[in-house]
Amino acid sequence: MNAANSPPNAPRSEALDLVDQYIVTDANGTGYSGAYGAGAGVDTAMIRAVLYRQKWIILGSIVLTLLAALFYTLIQTPIYRAEATVRVDPQGNYILEGQDLSPSIHINEYRQYLETLGSVVQSRQMAETVAADLKLANTSNFLSADIDASRPTGLSDEGWQQRKTVMAADGLRAGVEVDIPFETRIMTIQYTSTSARLAARFANGYAQAFLSEDTRRSLESNEYALEYLANQIAEVRKKLEGAEIASNDYARRNQLIGSTPVTSMDNGEPIGATTISAQTLSNINASYADARAARITAEQKWRTIAGMPAAQLPQVQTSIVVQTLLADRTQAQAELANLRERYREGYPDIQELSAKVATLDRQIARSGADIKSALRNDYRIAQRQEAALKVELDRVSNISLEEQDKQVRYGLLGRDATALRDQLAALLSRYNELSTAANVQAGSITLLDGAAIPKAPVSPSLWRNLLIALIAGLGLATMLAVLRETLDDRLRSLADIERKLGVGLLGHTPYVTENDLTNHSSNPYSALTEAYASIRSTLDYVVPRDHKVLQFTSSQASEGKTTSAIMVAEQMAMLGQKVLLVDGDLRRPSVHSHLGLAKPEKGFVEVLTGNATLEEALLPGTSLDLDVLCISKVPPNPVELLSSSMMTEFLAKHRGEYTRIIFDASPVMGIADAPLLANHVDATIFVAEANRVNGGQAKAAVRRLRGVGANLVGVVLTKFKALEAGEQYGSEYRYYSYSK
């Protein structure tokens, strides 16, 4: 049962039972129960709230530690590893037709074969080959720059060059490794160096040197295949030339002017040529269709308006010229009627205007006739264009039919040329493969992936260092977040109200934008309206009916006390209660601006001092059961007014006229107005803004109110952000659900 919909005259005990039983539920289905929102305890919601509130501290700590790890990694000497992969296939193909494929290595010996290849890669001979290919003996960044200073006396230049190559090979062997696969035929050649570029260069050098010996053997085997393919290519090229010449001669003799033969979508064979005549036929056919459509449109338009008077045509009525003439005629007729009321028909101005009206009538009729004649001409022009295009279409169609017979023969010639062209392309492709030393024999080795320059070193490991930094950053972030949470005393969650202030929670309102706050009255089911409906329902049961005068206050300005006072007053008025809303902030009145109304000439101060009656000072434009008493001018002595007998007399006079009298009072801290007003009212509602007001400051304000004997019935927590309190984001919008 909805507590907000309970009968207002329900017994006190039953009302309190209803309030105690309702459950405020968030989007997860978890919630808190009780009239004052007793929290469910410190659990994952609190942890989620701390994480959200301290997200920047946490992120900053993690980012700083990650940057420190990155800096440490960058200042270390990096070690890079480049990898080149080759495919080893001991089953080679023979090029000559009719020869069989046969394995050159037994399956049981395949592992030993790969081990042998790995040893070849790591051999001294392979290192010397790589050093010679890369000319490392003359590379200053590999051997020391002063290597020539250690040259033995009497050694020839050739001998010294050879010795330097051997020294370079010894340096190369220290960094090369081979990964022998177990289940694949892919060998990985790895090279490790302090330079990423050199690592990739040497890995590729080893891969190329590994392939070179097999490549040379393959080239010798390919010599016969290359000679054979060269003869075939020359023969097919000669046939293709003759076929293309015959096709072009036939097209020239039969005047088949157009593009090359069109290829079929099914088998790729030419089926004919797209000639100029065919293209012309297509264009004329499209133009004829457009002209026919235009003629039909023009004909229908003309037949529709042919029997209509020109003045009734839509084109005439919407014509700017006709509209201008009609306006001029109307103006002239108005002037003529005006003159006729004062003068006789013989008056010169009357005669002049009569002639002008007649002239305008003729111009209007002539313009309408011209527009109708133009529509008839459009129809006749469309007829002539359609007839002319029909004649041309028939002529071009006959020419195209004659060309179709000729294109049959042209297509046959084109298919012969296409077949020879495909055959020549296949031969050239195979010839190019063999020319680039494609492996065609058993034991072929092909390069799979060349070594790319490593983007990241294998040592020091950036990811390992970042993982360590991430763990350290999480620890630092946790420490800082806990420290900051310990020092932060702001009211954030619903449980903070009772825990820090020792006052019951009347309800809370969601954080909404200024636009939603302005337009809340247009949506009676908004989250803000539902929240204040719940607060109003709680007040009805918490505050006895004979306690008619209520005060809304807060510890500081802009916490939502004025909005809360207005919304609760409106909610009570909507239930038929007679409510008087009084702007009791004698220093910074704002009720009229929140309602979007102008400041009155007479207000609360004038009523207190007897300079105006209540009826004269009420703000116009409010609802039927809601009277609003604002402040016209800020008085110089608010404390004297609130502490005088005039306030007591005002309340005594009007207490019986209203069900509730609600005061929007000044903030408590630093001002004596709210504590003074608390002595006159029956109950005080304290408003606190979530995530802004300090717990110590709010506690001091509550203590001050209680020190003057205020009847503090509860707290309203405004601008509540679910994420800040650890609840899910959806609870800000799917706000309330009630159950027994």
Question: Do residue 470 and residue 611 come from a single domain?
Answer: no
**677 and 586 fall within a common domain:** yes
619 to each of 590, 628, 651, how far by Cα in Å? Answer: 13, 5, 18
How far apart CA 357 and CA 360 sit, in angstroms, is 5
- Are 378 and 476 members of one domain? no
Domain identity same for 518 and 409 = no
User: Does some domain include residue 242?
Assistant: no
Q: Which domain holds residue 66?
A: 52-76+460-486
Instruction: Write down the pLDDT at residue 306.
Output: 67
Token pair listed for 55: 């997200």
Q: Are residues 536 and 612 in the same domain?
A: yes
Q: How far apart are CA 45 and CA 28, in angstroms?
A: 11
Q: Is the pLDDT of residue 432 over 50?
A: yes
Average pLDDT of span 570-581: 91
Q: Mean pLDDT highest for which of 42-51, 233-242, 299-308?
A: 233-242
Whether residues 546 and 481 fall in one domain: no
pLDDT digits (tens, 9 = 90+) for 499-517: 888 888 898 888 877 766 6
Q: What is the pLDDT of residue 188?
A: 93
> Which of 38-52, 394-408, 640-654 tops mean pLDDT?
640-654
The total number of structural domains in the chain stands at: 3
Higher pLDDT, 63 or 277: 63
User: How do 80-89 and 444-449 pair as beta strands?
Assistant: antiparallel
Domain membership of residue 468 (yes or no) is yes
Cross-strand bridge partners of residue 694:
490
Q: Is the pLDDT of residue 40 over 70?
A: no
Q: Does 190 reside within a domain?
A: no
Q: Looking at the structure, tell me whether residues 311 and 394 fall in a common domain.
A: yes
466 and 606 housed in the same domain: no
Q: Decide if 101 is inside a domain.
A: no
What is the pLDDT at residue 218? Answer: 63
One domain, residues 651 and 589: yes
Q: Among 277, 507, 495, which residue's Cα sits nearest to residue 406? A: 277
Same domain, 673 and 539: yes
Q: Do 464 and 586 belong to one domain? A: no
Rounded mean pLDDT of 438-449?
A: 66
Task: Please check whether residue 427 lies inside any domain of the structure.
Answer: yes
- Indicate whether 521 and 471 sit together in one domain: no
Residue 730 has pLDDT above 60, yes or no: no
How does pLDDT run across 683-692, given as a tens digit for each residue?
999 999 888 8
Q: Assign residue 25 a region (left: φ > 0; alpha: ψ between -120 and 50; beta: otherwise).
A: beta
pLDDT of residue 294: 77
Is position 553 within any domain?
Answer: yes
CATH number at residue 592: 3.40.50.300
What's the whole-number mean pLDDT along residues 525-545? Answer: 86
State mean pLDDT over 357-385. 76
DSSP assignment of 501-524 equals I---EEEEEE---HHHHHTGGG-T
Would residue 137 count as lying in a domain? Answer: no
Q: Does residue 697 fall inside a structural domain? A: yes
Sequence-separated (6 or more) residues with CB below 8 Å from residue 163: 155
Average pLDDT taken over every residue of the chain? 77
pLDDT at residue 262 is higher than 90: no
150 versus 133: the higher-pLDDT residue is: 133
pLDDT in tens, 583-625: 989 889 988 888 888 888 889 999 998 899 999 889 887 777 8
| CA geometry: angle 440, 446, 452, nearest 5 deg | 160
Confidence check: pLDDT of 323 > 50: yes
Mean pLDDT comparison of 234-238, 341-345, 483-487, highest-scoring range: 234-238
Average pLDDT over residues 279-290: 78
Indicate the pTM of the whole model: 0.45
**Averaged pLDDT for residues 273-277:** 63
